Amino acid sequence: MIDRPRRNRVSPGIRDLVAETRLTPANLVWPAFVTEGSGVRDEISSMPGIFRFSIDELVRELTRAHVLGVQGVALFPVIENNLKDPTGKESLNPDGLLQRAIRNIKSNLPGMVVITDVALDPYSSDGHDGLVMDGEILNDETLPLLAKMAVAQARAGTDVVAPSDMMDGRVLAIREALDAEGFTKVGICSYCLKYASAFYGPFRDALDSAPRGGDKKTYQMDVRNQREALREIELDEAEGADWLLVKPGLPFLDMIRLARENSALPIAAYHVSGEYAMLKAAAAKGWLDYEQCLLESLMCMRRAGADILFTYGALDAAELLQGNR
């Protein structure tokens, strides 16, 4: 035998030298839930190890994240029920929870990249990402609300806005509104390929944001489809997106690859709440090694072509990658 692939696997040193994919804490974004109060760490039952943090506790965790090399946080606010309404107007409140969290993080940790979600659902009494009228999720009527929400976040100091709502035309509406207010440096991470997935369940528990009626299939993509992703990529690029995000992560590796091959923009992948919950649940039963499976999941998304990985396991992964565990 002349050709022996095993020669390149013979030792850790050789394997590291020939490794085609690298994963570092700099690839990671930590999605975090923020809630009112102080000193609050409220664990989410379907996401063991993940908490709804009050702003002070969140800043403490982010300081730790920053030391570990994690440079991005994606914020999701837990909005009190009495503040929810059909138009999600609390999202525009300059002193609302999210806006206060942004200001606090940026003043304590200016180097932390703050990414904020643009969609109505955490603020909406209907639990949908857009405006609901007679059971229908309205597209064009939602766009100005999203644009104003993005501007409110930019005023508070966010670095990147991340429309996750899947309304048609929202990237352009947001870009124009940001530019009109002088926020030309605020980036847009478009949830470009976001599927109508059942893996978002634990996230909706965390925010109590499940749709009060119907589902999200008229706006999020159909899990059966691949080709229509090309249309979404083309549109988001033309509308001025800076990053394209694919979601969920591991079940959609083909879509990460497709996005990578059809765009020169940075590609992000979101290892979502249900993916995290599956690992934790199996590990709790002693059926899987959480740490190894987490790193493998993240590495596989990198291999498929993702540059940026959103994962609830960001701090765990960063510690493991730094050899601190």
What DSSP element (H or E) covers 94? none
**Three-state secondary structure call for residue 80:** coil
Q: Of 164 and 297, which has the nearer Cβ to ligand PBG?
A: 164
Instruction: Give the shortest CB-110-to-ligand PBG separation in angstroms.
Output: 25
Question: Of residues 55-114, which lie at the interface with ligand PBG (CB under 6 A)?
Answer: none
> 268: which strand partners?
245, 308
Is 216 annotated in the active site? no
Token duo for residue 65: 């994240």
Among 200, 243, 252, 290, binds ligand PBG (CB under 6 A): 200
Q: Which stretch binds ligand PBG (CB under 6 A): 3-11, 116-124, 229-237, 257-265?
A: 116-124
What DSSP element (H or E) covers 319? helix 314-321
**24 — alpha (psi -120 to 50), left (phi > 0) or beta?**
beta
**Is 33 near ligand PBG (CB under 6 A)?**
no
**Is 178 near ligand PBG (CB under 6 A)?**
no
**Is 164 near ligand PBG (CB under 6 A)?**
yes
**Is 252 near ligand PBG (CB under 6 A)?**
no
Token duo for residue 12: 């850790």
Instruction: Give the shortest CB-253-to-ligand PBG separation in angstroms.
Output: 17
What DSSP element (H or E) covers 74? strand 72-77
Q: Which residue is catalytic, options 148, 185, 217, 247? A: 247
Q: Of 43 and 56, which has the nearer Cβ to ligand PBG?
A: 43
For residues 73 and 113, give the distance between their C-alpha atoms in angstroms, rounded to a whole number: 6
Contact yes or no for 76/206 (Cβ under 8 A):
yes
**Three-state secondary structure call for residue 159:** coil
Contact yes or no for 243/265 (Cβ under 8 A):
yes
Among 203, 243, 252, 290, binds ligand PBG (CB under 6 A): 203
Q: Of 216 and 302, which has the nearer Cβ to ligand PBG?
A: 216
Q: Which residue is catalytic, options 84, 194, 216, 280? A: 194
Q: Which stretch binds ligand PBG (CB under 6 A): 16-24, 115-123, 171-179, 315-323?
A: 115-123
For residues 12 and 212, give the distance between their C-alpha atoms in angstroms, rounded to a whole number: 52
Task: Count each helix (H run) and each strand (E run) in the chain, helices first.
Answer: 11, 12
Is 194 annotated in the active site? yes
Which residue has 């229509």 as its token pair? 228
Contact yes or no for 157/185 (Cβ under 8 A):
no
Instruction: Give the shortest CB-267-to-ligand PBG separation in angstroms.
Output: 17
**Is 117 near ligand PBG (CB under 6 A)?**
yes
Instruction: Give the shortest CB-52-to-ligand PBG separation in angstroms.
Output: 14
**Is 239 near ligand PBG (CB under 6 A)?**
no
Where helices occur in the chain by DSSP H, the ranges are 12-18, 55-67, 97-108, 143-156, 170-180, 201-207, 228-239, 253-262, 273-284, 290-304, 314-321
Among 102, 119, 268, 279, binds ligand PBG (CB under 6 A): 119
Contacts with ligand PBG, residue ranges (CB under 6 A):
117, 119, 121, 129, 164-165, 200, 203-204, 216, 272-273
- Residues recognised as catalytic: 194, 247
